[in-house]
Amino acid sequence: MKVIKAAVFAATMMTASTGMAAEVSGNVALGSEYFFRGVNQSGGEALSGGFDVAFDSGFYVGTWASSIDFSNGPELDYYAGYGGSFSDTVSYDVGYLFYGYPGDSSLDFEELYGSVSFADATVGFNYSDDYFDSTGETTYLYIDYGFALNDKFSLGFHYGTMSADDSVAYNAVFEDAIDDYSISLSTEYAGIGIDFSFIDSSGSGALDADAEFAVTFSKSL
């Protein structure tokens, strides 16, 4: 992973030095819960937000943070990637993502990710050589599908599945949290995005979603 981080840093410096046009955007959100792959991260309300810099070349970098309840500090993520298209209807995205926990750096982990989108669907894949809390090599495969119901509401579906080579270490931390599912109804009012989500997981741990509901209010900056 050190080689990957060095390559990402070099690409960032090279892109910046060419003076290419860049678009800076931001976001902030307040949710009743923060679930990550079907596992509750906040134990209640969560405040999150981030910034992105996207270049005309398709290269982008960004950071995102959220309040959590299992570390003496927030979750603080950094990512860099490249997006493009194969055709007018098929696009792709590949990149590197670092999940940081300043309150307990032993929880830090990294992933490589890639996805392909076509029509209203996205199929993606994430890989980590040493997942959260040093639980070993993992892969995460997911599919998202969303569409507009009308000019005010849209509906989104998500399914993801996690697998780990070190099943003993993985299950010791996450028990049987393997699959996660969600359905989201989204709308906007006065410039505020509103998402109502139903979240479930096949896991049996205390933090795994069990037919739970969450609402999130978000604003693009």
Which helix or strand (DSSP H or E) is residue 192 part of? Answer: strand 192-201
Return per-residue pLDDT of the chain as tens, 221 residues. Answer: 454 455 455 555 555 554 568 999 999 999 999 999 999 999 999 999 999 999 999 999 999 999 999 999 999 999 999 999 999 999 999 999 999 999 999 999 999 999 999 999 999 999 999 999 888 889 999 999 999 999 999 999 999 999 887 665 666 666 545 899 999 999 999 999 999 999 999 988 888 899 999 999 999 99
- The whole-number pLDDT of residue 220 equals 96
Three-state DSSP state, 105: helix
Measured between alpha carbons, how far is 116 from 84 in angstroms, rounded to an integer?
Answer: 10
- 158 DSSP assignment: E
CATH hierarchy code of domain 2-220: 2.40.160.40
The residues, ordered by sequence, that sit 6+ positions from 5 with a Cβ below 8 Å of its Cβ are: 96, 98, 110
pLDDT of residue 200: 96
Which residue, chain included where needed, has tokens 């495969």?
Answer: 141
Q: Residue ranges per domain, the chain? A: 2-220
The pLDDT assigned to 135 comes to: 83
pLDDT of the residue at 27: 98
| Dihedral sign (CA 76, 160, 195, 22) | positive
What are the strands, taking DSSP E only, across 86-120?
Answer: 90-100, 109-118
Q: Is 0.75 surpassed by the pTM of this model?
A: yes
What is the C-alpha to C-alpha distance for residues 70 and 195, in angstroms, rounded to an integer?
25
Identify which of 176, 181, 170, 162 has the alpha carbon closest to the alpha carbon of residue 204. Answer: 176
Question: Which helix (DSSP H) or strand (DSSP E) does residue 135 occupy?
Answer: none
The pair of three-digit structure tokens given for residue 45, joined into one six-digit string: 């309300």
